[in-house]
Structure 1
Protein backbone atom coordinates (compact mmCIF):
# COMPACT_ATOMS: atom_id res chain seq x y z
CA UNK A 1 0.00 0.00 0.00
CA UNK A 2 2.71 2.50 0.91
CA UNK A 3 4.82 1.66 -2.10
CA UNK A 4 2.47 3.23 -4.65
CA UNK A 5 1.27 6.83 -4.69
CA UNK A 6 -2.44 6.32 -5.26
CA UNK A 7 -4.85 9.15 -5.82
CA UNK A 8 -6.13 8.80 -2.24
CA UNK A 9 -2.60 9.11 -0.90
CA UNK A 10 -1.96 12.18 -3.02
CA UNK A 11 -5.15 13.75 -1.68
CA UNK A 12 -4.09 13.10 1.91
CA UNK A 13 -0.58 14.33 1.28
CA UNK A 14 -1.90 17.62 -0.07
CA UNK A 15 -4.06 18.03 3.01
CA UNK A 16 -7.27 18.22 0.97
CA UNK A 17 -10.64 17.04 2.16
CA UNK A 18 -10.95 13.36 1.35
CA UNK A 19 -14.69 13.65 0.93
CA UNK A 20 -14.42 16.71 -1.28
CA UNK A 21 -12.08 15.11 -3.78
CA UNK A 22 -13.79 11.75 -3.97
CA UNK A 23 -17.25 13.23 -4.19
CA UNK A 24 -16.88 13.48 -7.94
CA UNK A 25 -14.63 10.50 -8.47
CA UNK A 26 -17.24 8.12 -9.81
CA UNK A 27 -20.98 7.42 -9.78
CA UNK A 28 -20.27 4.35 -7.63
CA UNK A 29 -18.85 6.50 -4.85
CA UNK A 30 -22.09 8.39 -4.18
CA UNK A 31 -24.23 5.28 -4.64
CA UNK A 32 -23.06 3.51 -1.50
CA UNK A 33 -23.98 4.90 1.91
CA UNK A 34 -22.17 3.23 4.81
CA UNK A 35 -25.15 1.12 5.80
CA UNK A 36 -25.04 -0.49 9.25
CA UNK A 37 -21.54 0.76 10.06
CA UNK A 38 -20.27 0.19 13.59
CA UNK A 39 -18.51 3.29 14.91
CA UNK A 40 -15.98 2.50 17.61
CA UNK A 41 -15.14 5.01 20.31
CA UNK A 42 -12.04 5.19 22.48
CA UNK A 43 -12.89 5.48 26.20
CA UNK A 44 -11.72 9.10 26.44
CA UNK A 45 -13.74 12.25 26.88
CA UNK A 46 -13.37 13.70 23.40
CA UNK A 47 -15.27 10.72 21.93
CA UNK A 48 -18.41 12.56 23.06
CA UNK A 49 -18.13 14.85 20.00
CA UNK A 50 -18.55 12.02 17.50
CA UNK A 51 -21.16 10.39 19.71
CA UNK A 52 -23.17 13.60 19.76
CA UNK A 53 -22.96 13.89 15.97
CA UNK A 54 -24.30 10.35 15.64
CA UNK A 55 -27.06 10.93 18.22
CA UNK A 56 -28.19 14.13 16.49
CA UNK A 57 -29.12 12.22 13.34
CA UNK A 58 -26.65 14.16 11.19
CA UNK A 59 -25.12 10.90 9.91
CA UNK A 60 -28.37 9.08 9.22
CA UNK A 61 -28.47 9.81 5.49
CA UNK A 62 -24.84 8.86 4.86
CA UNK A 63 -24.60 6.06 7.46
CA UNK A 64 -28.12 4.64 7.94
CA UNK A 65 -28.37 2.27 10.89
CA UNK A 66 -24.96 3.23 12.29
CA UNK A 67 -24.25 1.98 15.82
CA UNK A 68 -21.71 2.90 18.48
CA UNK A 69 -19.65 1.03 21.03
CA UNK A 70 -16.46 1.60 22.99
CA UNK A 71 -13.24 -0.24 22.20
CA UNK A 72 -10.98 -1.11 25.12
CA UNK A 73 -7.62 -2.19 23.66
CA UNK A 74 -5.77 -2.15 20.36
CA UNK A 75 -6.24 -5.89 19.79
CA UNK A 76 -10.00 -5.40 19.84
CA UNK A 77 -9.71 -2.42 17.52
CA UNK A 78 -7.39 -4.22 15.13
CA UNK A 79 -9.78 -7.19 14.91
CA UNK A 80 -12.70 -4.89 14.12
CA UNK A 81 -10.73 -3.13 11.37
CA UNK A 82 -9.41 -6.32 9.77
CA UNK A 83 -12.84 -7.99 9.84
CA UNK A 84 -14.44 -4.95 8.20
CA UNK A 85 -16.80 -4.37 11.14
CA UNK A 86 -15.53 -0.82 11.51
CA UNK A 87 -13.93 1.76 9.27
CA UNK A 88 -14.48 4.81 11.52
CA UNK A 89 -13.28 5.22 15.09
CA UNK A 90 -12.05 7.69 17.68
CA UNK A 91 -8.60 6.99 19.01
CA UNK A 92 -5.44 8.26 20.67
CA UNK A 93 -3.58 9.70 17.70
CA UNK A 94 -0.58 7.40 17.94
CA UNK A 95 -2.68 4.24 17.47
CA UNK A 96 -3.69 4.71 13.79
CA UNK A 97 -0.18 5.97 13.02
CA UNK A 98 1.22 2.75 14.45
CA UNK A 99 -1.27 0.59 12.55
CA UNK A 100 -0.75 2.53 9.30
CA UNK A 101 3.00 2.04 9.60
CA UNK A 102 2.34 -1.69 9.97
CA UNK A 103 0.41 -1.82 6.71
CA UNK A 104 -3.19 -1.04 7.61
CA UNK A 105 -4.78 1.45 5.15
CA UNK A 106 -5.77 4.01 7.78
CA UNK A 107 -5.87 7.82 7.70
CA UNK A 108 -6.19 10.38 10.48
CA UNK A 109 -9.19 12.56 9.66
CA UNK A 110 -9.60 14.94 12.59
CA UNK A 111 -8.31 15.94 16.01
CA UNK A 112 -10.80 16.02 18.89
CA UNK A 113 -8.55 16.73 21.90
CA UNK A 114 -5.49 18.91 22.35
CA UNK A 115 -4.52 17.18 25.57
CA UNK A 116 -6.17 16.14 28.82
CA UNK A 117 -3.29 15.16 31.13
CA UNK A 118 -2.57 16.73 34.52
CA UNK A 119 -0.45 16.25 37.57
CA UNK A 120 -3.00 16.29 40.41
CA UNK A 121 -1.72 16.70 43.94
CA UNK A 122 -2.61 17.40 47.53
CA UNK A 123 0.86 18.88 48.07
CA UNK A 124 0.53 22.66 48.08
CA UNK A 125 4.27 22.91 47.45
CA UNK A 126 3.88 21.61 43.88
CA UNK A 127 3.11 24.53 41.59
CA UNK A 128 5.37 23.79 38.62
CA UNK A 129 6.87 20.79 36.89
CA UNK A 130 10.26 21.29 38.50
CA UNK A 131 8.60 21.08 41.92
CA UNK A 132 8.19 17.35 41.23
CA UNK A 133 11.89 16.78 41.87
CA UNK A 134 12.29 14.39 44.78
CA UNK A 135 8.55 13.66 44.95
CA UNK A 136 6.64 10.38 44.80
CA UNK A 137 4.02 10.07 42.05
CA UNK A 138 1.55 7.51 40.83
CA UNK A 139 1.46 6.98 37.06
CA UNK A 140 -0.44 4.71 34.67
CA UNK A 141 0.06 2.98 31.32
CA UNK A 142 3.83 2.71 31.73
CA UNK A 143 5.69 3.27 28.45
CA UNK A 144 2.45 4.13 26.69
CA UNK A 145 1.41 7.54 25.45
CA UNK A 146 0.49 9.35 28.72
CA UNK A 147 3.69 8.14 30.37
CA UNK A 148 5.77 9.05 27.33
CA UNK A 149 4.30 12.57 27.27
CA UNK A 150 5.28 13.04 30.92
CA UNK A 151 8.77 11.65 30.31
CA UNK A 152 9.31 13.86 27.28
CA UNK A 153 8.35 16.94 29.30
CA UNK A 154 10.65 15.87 32.13
CA UNK A 155 13.48 15.50 29.63
CA UNK A 156 12.74 19.01 28.36
CA UNK A 157 13.24 20.28 31.91
CA UNK A 158 16.56 18.45 32.18
CA UNK A 159 15.06 15.89 34.55
CA UNK A 160 15.25 12.10 34.58
CA UNK A 161 11.92 10.69 35.83
CA UNK A 162 13.67 7.46 36.85
CA UNK A 163 16.16 9.31 39.06
CA UNK A 164 14.82 12.74 39.96
CA UNK A 165 11.46 11.46 41.25
CA UNK A 166 9.83 8.17 42.18
CA UNK A 167 6.98 6.95 39.97
CA UNK A 168 4.87 3.95 40.98
CA UNK A 169 2.70 2.64 38.17
CA UNK A 170 -0.82 1.24 38.35
CA UNK A 171 -2.86 -0.29 35.57
CA UNK A 172 -5.46 2.41 34.88
CA UNK A 173 -5.91 6.16 35.46
CA UNK A 174 -9.03 5.47 37.53
CA UNK A 175 -7.02 3.28 39.88
CA UNK A 176 -4.54 6.13 40.33
CA UNK A 177 -7.44 8.54 40.92
CA UNK A 178 -8.91 6.32 43.61
CA UNK A 179 -5.56 6.06 45.39
CA UNK A 180 -5.24 9.83 45.33
CA UNK A 181 -8.79 10.40 46.54
CA UNK A 182 -8.40 7.90 49.36
CA UNK A 183 -5.21 9.52 50.61
CA UNK A 184 -3.07 6.50 49.70
CA UNK A 185 -1.04 8.75 47.37
CA UNK A 186 -0.31 12.46 47.38
CA UNK A 187 0.45 13.14 43.72
CA UNK A 188 -0.53 11.40 40.48
CA UNK A 189 -0.36 11.80 36.73
CA UNK A 190 -3.99 11.62 35.57
CA UNK A 191 -6.03 11.97 32.43
CA UNK A 192 -9.54 13.38 32.31
CA UNK A 193 -12.14 12.59 33.57
CA UNK A 194 -10.26 10.59 36.27
CA UNK A 195 -8.53 13.83 37.37
CA UNK A 196 -11.90 15.45 38.00
CA UNK A 197 -13.12 12.27 39.70
CA UNK A 198 -10.17 12.29 42.10
CA UNK A 199 -10.75 15.94 43.01
CA UNK A 200 -14.47 15.38 43.56
CA UNK A 201 -14.03 12.19 45.60
CA UNK A 202 -11.33 13.75 47.79
CA UNK A 203 -13.51 16.78 48.47
CA UNK A 204 -16.20 14.52 49.91
CA UNK A 205 -13.60 13.22 52.38
CA UNK A 206 -12.50 16.72 53.32
CA UNK A 207 -9.24 16.62 51.34
CA UNK A 208 -8.20 19.21 48.78
CA UNK A 209 -6.59 18.16 45.51
CA UNK A 210 -5.49 20.53 42.76
CA UNK A 211 -4.45 20.29 39.14
CA UNK A 212 -0.92 21.36 39.98
CA UNK A 213 0.56 21.01 36.48
CA UNK A 214 -1.12 20.99 33.07
CA UNK A 215 0.98 18.71 30.89
CA UNK A 216 -0.50 20.20 27.70
CA UNK A 217 0.60 23.68 28.76
CA UNK A 218 4.06 22.35 29.58
CA UNK A 219 4.13 20.68 26.16
CA UNK A 220 3.23 23.90 24.36
CA UNK A 221 6.00 25.78 26.16
CA UNK A 222 8.55 23.19 25.03
CA UNK A 223 7.30 22.94 21.43
CA UNK A 224 7.08 26.57 20.31
CA UNK A 225 3.37 26.85 21.06
CA UNK A 226 2.35 23.68 19.23
CA UNK A 227 -0.41 21.89 21.10
CA UNK A 228 -0.66 18.27 22.19
CA UNK A 229 -2.95 16.51 19.66
CA UNK A 230 -3.81 13.48 21.76
CA UNK A 231 -7.08 12.11 20.38
CA UNK A 232 -8.90 12.15 17.08
CA UNK A 233 -10.89 10.30 14.44
CA UNK A 234 -9.35 7.78 12.06
CA UNK A 235 -10.88 6.20 8.97
CA UNK A 236 -10.18 3.22 6.74
CA UNK A 237 -9.36 3.99 3.11
CA UNK A 238 -12.37 2.00 1.97
CA UNK A 239 -14.67 4.50 3.69
CA UNK A 240 -13.04 7.37 1.79
CA UNK A 241 -13.47 5.58 -1.51
CA UNK A 242 -16.88 4.01 -1.03
CA UNK A 243 -18.74 6.53 1.16
CA UNK A 244 -17.47 10.08 0.53
CA UNK A 245 -20.86 11.41 1.60
CA UNK A 246 -20.16 10.17 5.13
CA UNK A 247 -16.80 11.97 5.13
CA UNK A 248 -18.59 15.11 3.96
CA UNK A 249 -21.17 14.75 6.75
CA UNK A 250 -18.39 14.41 9.30
CA UNK A 251 -16.62 17.49 7.99
CA UNK A 252 -19.82 19.51 8.03
CA UNK A 253 -21.07 18.29 11.39
CA UNK A 254 -18.14 17.84 13.77
CA UNK A 255 -17.51 21.54 14.56
CA UNK A 256 -21.17 22.03 15.45
CA UNK A 257 -21.22 18.86 17.53
CA UNK A 258 -18.19 20.13 19.44
CA UNK A 259 -19.91 23.46 20.08
CA UNK A 260 -23.09 21.70 21.26
CA UNK A 261 -21.13 19.57 23.72
CA UNK A 262 -19.43 22.59 25.26
CA UNK A 263 -22.68 24.58 25.43
CA UNK A 264 -24.75 21.70 26.86
CA UNK A 265 -22.52 20.07 29.43
CA UNK A 266 -25.29 18.44 31.47
CA UNK A 267 -26.84 16.85 28.37
CA UNK A 268 -23.40 15.78 27.14
CA UNK A 269 -22.78 14.20 30.55
CA UNK A 270 -26.06 12.30 30.33
CA UNK A 271 -25.11 11.01 26.88
CA UNK A 272 -21.69 9.96 28.18
CA UNK A 273 -23.30 8.07 31.05
CA UNK A 274 -25.63 6.29 28.66
CA UNK A 275 -23.00 5.32 26.10
CA UNK A 276 -19.55 5.61 27.69
CA UNK A 277 -19.94 4.11 31.16
CA UNK A 278 -19.04 7.27 33.09
CA UNK A 279 -21.02 9.27 35.66
CA UNK A 280 -22.88 12.17 34.06
CA UNK A 281 -22.05 14.83 36.66
CA UNK A 282 -18.38 13.86 36.70
CA UNK A 283 -18.14 13.96 32.91
CA UNK A 284 -19.89 17.32 32.73
CA UNK A 285 -17.54 18.77 35.35
CA UNK A 286 -14.51 17.47 33.46
CA UNK A 287 -15.49 18.83 30.04
CA UNK A 288 -13.71 22.16 30.43
CA UNK A 289 -10.45 20.27 30.94
CA UNK A 290 -10.68 18.02 27.86
CA UNK A 291 -9.39 20.73 25.48
CA UNK A 292 -11.96 19.56 22.95
CA UNK A 293 -11.57 20.72 19.35
CA UNK A 294 -12.82 19.58 15.95
CA UNK A 295 -10.08 20.30 13.42
CA UNK A 296 -8.71 18.50 10.39
CA UNK A 297 -5.58 16.43 10.95
CA UNK A 298 -3.74 18.04 8.03
CA UNK A 299 -4.24 21.52 9.48
CA UNK A 300 -2.58 20.33 12.71
CA UNK A 301 0.15 18.31 11.02
CA UNK A 302 3.09 20.31 12.49
CA UNK A 303 1.87 19.56 16.00
CA UNK A 304 1.23 15.92 15.18
CA UNK A 305 4.71 15.50 13.71
CA UNK A 306 6.27 17.08 16.82
CA UNK A 307 4.21 14.76 18.99
CA UNK A 308 5.14 11.68 16.97
CA UNK A 309 8.83 12.64 16.97
CA UNK A 310 8.78 12.92 20.75
CA UNK A 311 7.22 9.46 21.05
CA UNK A 312 9.75 7.99 18.63
CA UNK A 313 12.63 9.41 20.66
CA UNK A 314 11.46 7.56 23.77
CA UNK A 315 9.63 4.47 22.49
CA UNK A 316 10.04 3.78 18.74
CA UNK A 317 7.60 0.87 18.83
CA UNK A 318 4.80 3.28 19.77
CA UNK A 319 4.77 4.23 16.07
CA UNK A 320 6.29 1.07 14.60
CA UNK A 321 9.61 2.90 14.35
CA UNK A 322 8.82 5.75 11.96
CA UNK A 323 6.67 8.74 11.16
CA UNK A 324 3.53 8.01 9.13
CA UNK A 325 3.60 9.16 5.48
CA UNK A 326 2.27 12.55 4.41
CA UNK A 327 -0.80 10.79 2.98
CA UNK A 328 -1.81 9.81 6.52
CA UNK A 329 -3.11 13.30 7.35
CA UNK A 330 -6.53 14.28 5.99
CA UNK A 331 -8.61 17.40 6.51
CA UNK A 332 -12.24 18.01 7.25
Structure 2
Protein backbone atom coordinates (compact mmCIF):
# COMPACT_ATOMS: atom_id res chain seq x y z
CA UNK A 1 0.00 0.00 0.00
CA UNK A 2 1.43 3.42 -0.94
CA UNK A 3 2.07 6.18 1.65
CA UNK A 4 -0.71 8.25 0.10
CA UNK A 5 -3.27 5.46 0.60
CA UNK A 6 -2.11 4.93 4.20
CA UNK A 7 -2.61 8.66 4.85
CA UNK A 8 -6.12 8.57 3.35
CA UNK A 9 -6.96 5.54 5.53
CA UNK A 10 -5.83 7.35 8.68
CA UNK A 11 -7.86 10.41 7.70
CA UNK A 12 -10.95 8.23 7.29
CA UNK A 13 -10.47 6.66 10.73
CA UNK A 14 -9.80 10.11 12.19
CA UNK A 15 -13.05 11.45 10.74
CA UNK A 16 -14.96 8.47 12.14
CA UNK A 17 -13.48 9.00 15.61
CA UNK A 18 -14.38 12.72 15.46
CA UNK A 19 -17.96 11.78 14.57
CA UNK A 20 -18.07 9.27 17.45
CA UNK A 21 -16.72 11.84 19.92
CA UNK A 22 -19.23 14.50 18.78
CA UNK A 23 -22.24 12.17 18.77
CA UNK A 24 -21.56 10.49 22.13
CA UNK A 25 -20.63 13.75 23.88
CA UNK A 26 -23.96 15.26 22.80
CA UNK A 27 -25.62 12.22 24.32
CA UNK A 28 -23.66 12.23 27.59
CA UNK A 29 -23.91 16.00 28.13
CA UNK A 30 -27.69 15.98 27.50
CA UNK A 31 -27.42 18.29 24.49
CA UNK A 32 -29.47 15.75 22.57
CA UNK A 33 -32.57 14.26 24.18
CA UNK A 34 -33.31 10.53 23.87
CA UNK A 35 -36.12 9.61 21.48
CA UNK A 36 -37.97 7.48 24.01
CA UNK A 37 -37.48 8.04 27.77
CA UNK A 38 -36.71 4.59 29.15
CA UNK A 39 -39.08 3.27 31.81
CA UNK A 40 -41.28 6.38 31.92
CA UNK A 41 -43.61 5.91 28.96
CA UNK A 42 -46.81 6.35 31.00
CA UNK A 43 -45.50 9.51 32.72
CA UNK A 44 -44.41 10.88 29.34
CA UNK A 45 -47.86 10.29 27.85
CA UNK A 46 -49.65 11.80 30.87
CA UNK A 47 -47.54 14.99 30.90
CA UNK A 48 -47.76 15.44 27.11
CA UNK A 49 -51.57 15.18 27.16
CA UNK A 50 -51.75 17.61 30.09
CA UNK A 51 -49.63 20.29 28.40
CA UNK A 52 -51.39 19.78 25.05
CA UNK A 53 -54.69 20.65 26.72
CA UNK A 54 -53.18 23.97 27.80
CA UNK A 55 -51.22 24.78 24.65
CA UNK A 56 -53.86 23.71 22.11
CA UNK A 57 -57.23 23.92 23.87
CA UNK A 58 -56.52 26.73 26.36
CA UNK A 59 -57.27 24.59 29.43
CA UNK A 60 -55.38 25.63 32.58
CA UNK A 61 -53.60 22.94 34.61
CA UNK A 62 -51.12 22.41 37.42
CA UNK A 63 -48.89 19.41 38.07
CA UNK A 64 -45.85 18.47 40.16
CA UNK A 65 -43.18 16.04 38.89
CA UNK A 66 -41.64 14.26 41.89
CA UNK A 67 -38.55 12.07 41.92
CA UNK A 68 -35.01 11.74 43.34
CA UNK A 69 -32.11 13.65 41.79
CA UNK A 70 -30.98 12.09 38.54
CA UNK A 71 -34.30 10.26 38.02
CA UNK A 72 -34.98 12.15 34.76
CA UNK A 73 -37.50 14.86 35.75
CA UNK A 74 -35.92 17.62 33.66
CA UNK A 75 -35.18 15.23 30.79
CA UNK A 76 -38.82 14.08 30.74
CA UNK A 77 -40.12 17.66 30.76
CA UNK A 78 -37.70 18.78 28.02
CA UNK A 79 -38.65 15.78 25.87
CA UNK A 80 -42.36 16.65 26.23
CA UNK A 81 -41.75 20.35 25.49
CA UNK A 82 -39.72 19.53 22.36
CA UNK A 83 -42.56 17.30 21.08
CA UNK A 84 -45.11 19.97 21.93
CA UNK A 85 -43.21 22.64 20.00
CA UNK A 86 -43.22 20.48 16.86
CA UNK A 87 -46.87 21.50 16.43
CA UNK A 88 -46.85 24.77 14.41
CA UNK A 89 -49.88 26.19 16.18
CA UNK A 90 -48.22 25.66 19.58
CA UNK A 91 -44.78 26.86 18.51
CA UNK A 92 -46.14 30.27 17.44
CA UNK A 93 -48.33 30.91 20.48
CA UNK A 94 -47.07 29.17 23.61
CA UNK A 95 -44.90 31.10 26.08
CA UNK A 96 -42.47 29.49 28.52
CA UNK A 97 -41.28 30.89 31.83
CA UNK A 98 -38.53 28.96 33.61
CA UNK A 99 -37.96 29.72 37.30
CA UNK A 100 -35.60 28.04 39.74
CA UNK A 101 -35.96 28.10 43.52
CA UNK A 102 -32.18 28.32 43.91
CA UNK A 103 -32.04 31.50 41.79
CA UNK A 104 -35.36 33.26 42.43
CA UNK A 105 -35.10 33.31 46.23
CA UNK A 106 -37.98 35.74 46.78
CA UNK A 107 -41.16 36.83 44.99
CA UNK A 108 -39.76 40.18 43.88
CA UNK A 109 -36.86 38.49 42.06
CA UNK A 110 -39.25 35.91 40.58
CA UNK A 111 -41.58 38.62 39.28
CA UNK A 112 -38.68 40.46 37.63
CA UNK A 113 -37.62 37.21 35.95
CA UNK A 114 -41.18 36.53 34.74
CA UNK A 115 -41.32 40.07 33.26
CA UNK A 116 -37.93 39.57 31.56
CA UNK A 117 -38.79 36.17 30.06
CA UNK A 118 -42.14 37.42 28.76
CA UNK A 119 -40.38 40.47 27.23
CA UNK A 120 -42.73 42.90 28.98
CA UNK A 121 -40.17 45.30 30.50
CA UNK A 122 -41.30 48.14 28.23
CA UNK A 123 -44.98 47.47 28.97
CA UNK A 124 -44.46 47.54 32.74
CA UNK A 125 -42.13 50.57 32.60
CA UNK A 126 -42.28 52.59 35.84
CA UNK A 127 -45.79 51.47 36.82
CA UNK A 128 -46.38 51.05 40.55
CA UNK A 129 -48.51 48.11 41.68
CA UNK A 130 -50.21 47.69 45.01
CA UNK A 131 -49.63 43.95 45.30
CA UNK A 132 -47.95 40.95 43.69
CA UNK A 133 -51.37 39.77 42.43
CA UNK A 134 -52.00 43.08 40.62
CA UNK A 135 -48.58 42.94 38.98
CA UNK A 136 -49.03 39.34 37.80
CA UNK A 137 -52.57 40.05 36.58
CA UNK A 138 -51.25 43.02 34.57
CA UNK A 139 -48.54 40.83 32.97
CA UNK A 140 -51.06 38.17 31.95
CA UNK A 141 -53.47 40.82 30.66
CA UNK A 142 -50.68 42.24 28.48
CA UNK A 143 -50.32 38.84 26.80
CA UNK A 144 -53.96 38.68 25.73
CA UNK A 145 -54.90 39.14 22.11
CA UNK A 146 -58.67 39.18 22.67
CA UNK A 147 -60.95 36.83 24.56
CA UNK A 148 -59.70 33.88 26.64
CA UNK A 149 -59.84 31.48 23.70
CA UNK A 150 -57.33 33.59 21.75
CA UNK A 151 -55.05 34.40 24.71
CA UNK A 152 -51.50 33.10 24.46
CA UNK A 153 -51.03 30.04 26.71
CA UNK A 154 -48.17 30.32 29.22
CA UNK A 155 -46.20 27.45 30.79
CA UNK A 156 -44.66 28.30 34.19
CA UNK A 157 -41.93 25.76 35.00
CA UNK A 158 -40.79 25.92 38.64
CA UNK A 159 -37.62 23.92 39.25
CA UNK A 160 -36.86 23.16 42.92
CA UNK A 161 -40.58 23.72 43.55
CA UNK A 162 -40.27 23.05 47.30
CA UNK A 163 -38.02 26.13 47.75
CA UNK A 164 -40.81 28.41 46.47
CA UNK A 165 -42.90 27.15 49.41
CA UNK A 166 -40.43 28.93 51.73
CA UNK A 167 -41.18 32.35 50.21
CA UNK A 168 -43.06 34.75 52.47
CA UNK A 169 -46.80 33.84 52.50
CA UNK A 170 -46.15 31.64 49.40
CA UNK A 171 -47.44 34.58 47.35
CA UNK A 172 -45.95 33.47 44.03
CA UNK A 173 -47.38 29.94 44.28
CA UNK A 174 -50.76 31.21 45.47
CA UNK A 175 -51.18 33.66 42.59
CA UNK A 176 -49.93 31.30 39.86
CA UNK A 177 -52.17 28.47 41.04
CA UNK A 178 -55.07 30.89 41.52
CA UNK A 179 -54.72 32.04 37.90
CA UNK A 180 -54.56 28.41 36.69
CA UNK A 181 -57.75 27.57 38.59
CA UNK A 182 -59.78 30.74 37.94
CA UNK A 183 -59.43 30.47 34.13
CA UNK A 184 -58.32 34.10 33.73
CA UNK A 185 -55.82 32.96 31.10
CA UNK A 186 -54.61 29.56 29.79
CA UNK A 187 -51.78 28.78 32.20
CA UNK A 188 -49.99 25.55 33.15
CA UNK A 189 -47.89 25.45 36.32
CA UNK A 190 -45.34 22.62 36.31
CA UNK A 191 -43.29 22.03 39.43
CA UNK A 192 -40.21 19.81 39.71
CA UNK A 193 -39.08 18.63 43.12
CA UNK A 194 -37.18 15.89 44.96
CA UNK A 195 -39.40 16.04 48.05
CA UNK A 196 -42.15 13.45 48.35
CA UNK A 197 -43.83 15.51 51.10
CA UNK A 198 -44.01 18.67 48.98
CA UNK A 199 -47.79 19.04 49.42
CA UNK A 200 -47.33 19.19 53.19
CA UNK A 201 -45.22 22.34 52.74
CA UNK A 202 -48.07 24.21 51.03
CA UNK A 203 -50.40 26.49 52.97
CA UNK A 204 -54.08 25.53 53.05
CA UNK A 205 -55.13 28.32 50.66
CA UNK A 206 -52.36 27.36 48.18
CA UNK A 207 -53.12 23.64 48.43
CA UNK A 208 -56.81 24.29 47.74
CA UNK A 209 -55.89 25.88 44.40
CA UNK A 210 -53.58 23.07 43.31
CA UNK A 211 -55.05 20.34 41.08
CA UNK A 212 -53.28 17.62 43.18
CA UNK A 213 -51.86 16.05 40.00
CA UNK A 214 -48.51 14.43 40.71
CA UNK A 215 -46.24 12.49 38.36
CA UNK A 216 -43.82 10.24 40.25
CA UNK A 217 -40.50 9.11 38.78
CA UNK A 218 -39.17 6.39 41.04
CA UNK A 219 -36.12 4.41 39.92
CA UNK A 220 -36.90 0.72 39.41
CA UNK A 221 -33.79 0.04 37.35
CA UNK A 222 -32.19 -3.39 37.81
CA UNK A 223 -28.52 -4.05 37.16
CA UNK A 224 -29.44 -5.92 33.99
CA UNK A 225 -31.28 -2.80 32.75
CA UNK A 226 -28.32 -0.65 33.84
CA UNK A 227 -25.93 -2.82 31.81
CA UNK A 228 -28.23 -2.62 28.77
CA UNK A 229 -28.36 1.17 29.18
CA UNK A 230 -24.53 1.33 29.13
CA UNK A 231 -24.46 -0.73 25.92
CA UNK A 232 -27.15 1.48 24.34
CA UNK A 233 -25.46 4.72 25.40
CA UNK A 234 -22.13 3.67 23.87
CA UNK A 235 -23.58 2.24 20.66
CA UNK A 236 -23.69 4.16 17.38
CA UNK A 237 -26.97 4.72 15.47
CA UNK A 238 -27.82 3.06 12.16
CA UNK A 239 -27.51 6.36 10.28
CA UNK A 240 -23.83 6.78 11.23
CA UNK A 241 -21.86 8.13 8.19
CA UNK A 242 -19.66 5.01 7.96
CA UNK A 243 -21.88 1.89 8.39
CA UNK A 244 -18.94 -0.53 8.44
CA UNK A 245 -17.16 1.40 11.20
CA UNK A 246 -20.43 1.62 13.18
CA UNK A 247 -20.95 -2.15 12.86
CA UNK A 248 -17.43 -2.91 14.12
CA UNK A 249 -17.76 -0.33 16.92
CA UNK A 250 -21.11 -1.75 18.11
CA UNK A 251 -19.75 -5.30 18.02
CA UNK A 252 -16.78 -4.23 20.19
CA UNK A 253 -19.14 -2.48 22.65
CA UNK A 254 -21.29 -5.61 22.95
CA UNK A 255 -18.17 -7.70 23.68
CA UNK A 256 -16.98 -5.05 26.16
CA UNK A 257 -20.25 -5.17 28.13
CA UNK A 258 -19.85 -8.95 28.52
CA UNK A 259 -16.31 -8.62 29.95
CA UNK A 260 -16.20 -9.68 33.63
CA UNK A 261 -13.90 -6.79 34.62
CA UNK A 262 -16.28 -4.25 33.06
CA UNK A 263 -19.32 -5.89 34.69
CA UNK A 264 -17.61 -5.70 38.11
CA UNK A 265 -16.75 -2.00 37.63
CA UNK A 266 -20.31 -1.17 36.55
CA UNK A 267 -21.73 -3.20 39.45
CA UNK A 268 -19.78 -0.99 41.89
CA UNK A 269 -21.12 2.14 40.22
CA UNK A 270 -24.67 0.76 40.22
CA UNK A 271 -24.42 -0.02 43.95
CA UNK A 272 -23.21 3.49 44.79
CA UNK A 273 -25.51 5.47 42.47
CA UNK A 274 -28.20 4.46 40.01
CA UNK A 275 -28.66 7.87 38.39
CA UNK A 276 -27.58 8.47 34.81
CA UNK A 277 -25.56 11.61 35.56
CA UNK A 278 -22.85 9.62 37.36
CA UNK A 279 -23.00 6.98 34.61
CA UNK A 280 -22.58 9.62 31.91
CA UNK A 281 -19.60 11.06 33.81
CA UNK A 282 -17.98 7.60 33.81
CA UNK A 283 -18.69 7.10 30.09
CA UNK A 284 -17.43 10.60 29.23
CA UNK A 285 -14.09 9.90 30.95
CA UNK A 286 -13.93 6.56 29.12
CA UNK A 287 -14.68 8.19 25.75
CA UNK A 288 -11.88 10.74 26.26
CA UNK A 289 -9.34 7.88 26.04
CA UNK A 290 -10.43 6.96 22.49
CA UNK A 291 -8.00 8.23 19.84
CA UNK A 292 -7.12 7.53 16.20
CA UNK A 293 -4.30 5.24 17.30
CA UNK A 294 -6.68 3.44 19.73
CA UNK A 295 -10.12 3.62 18.07
CA UNK A 296 -11.98 1.30 20.48
CA UNK A 297 -12.95 1.32 24.16
CA UNK A 298 -11.21 -1.31 26.28
CA UNK A 299 -11.90 -2.72 29.74
CA UNK A 300 -8.80 -0.90 31.01
CA UNK A 301 -10.29 2.43 29.87
CA UNK A 302 -13.42 1.84 31.94
CA UNK A 303 -11.35 0.72 34.94
CA UNK A 304 -9.16 3.87 34.79
CA UNK A 305 -12.23 6.11 34.34
CA UNK A 306 -13.83 4.40 37.35
CA UNK A 307 -10.78 5.16 39.51
CA UNK A 308 -11.03 8.83 38.59
CA UNK A 309 -14.77 8.89 39.40
CA UNK A 310 -14.39 7.06 42.72
CA UNK A 311 -11.44 9.10 44.03
CA UNK A 312 -12.08 11.02 47.26
CA UNK A 313 -12.02 14.71 46.26
CA UNK A 314 -10.79 15.91 49.69
CA UNK A 315 -8.04 13.30 49.82
CA UNK A 316 -7.07 14.26 46.28
CA UNK A 317 -6.71 17.93 47.27
CA UNK A 318 -4.48 16.99 50.23
CA UNK A 319 -2.41 14.56 48.16
CA UNK A 320 1.16 15.79 47.86
CA UNK A 321 1.09 18.13 50.90
The verdict on a shared fold, with TM-score over 0.5 as the criterion, is: no
TM range (shorter): under 0.3
Larger radius of gyration: 2
* TM-score of the pair, normalised by structure 2: 0.26
Between 1 and 2, higher relative CO (CA 8 Å, sep ≥ 6) is seen in 1
* TM-score of the pair, normalised by structure 1: 0.25
Q: Which has the higher helix share?
A: 2
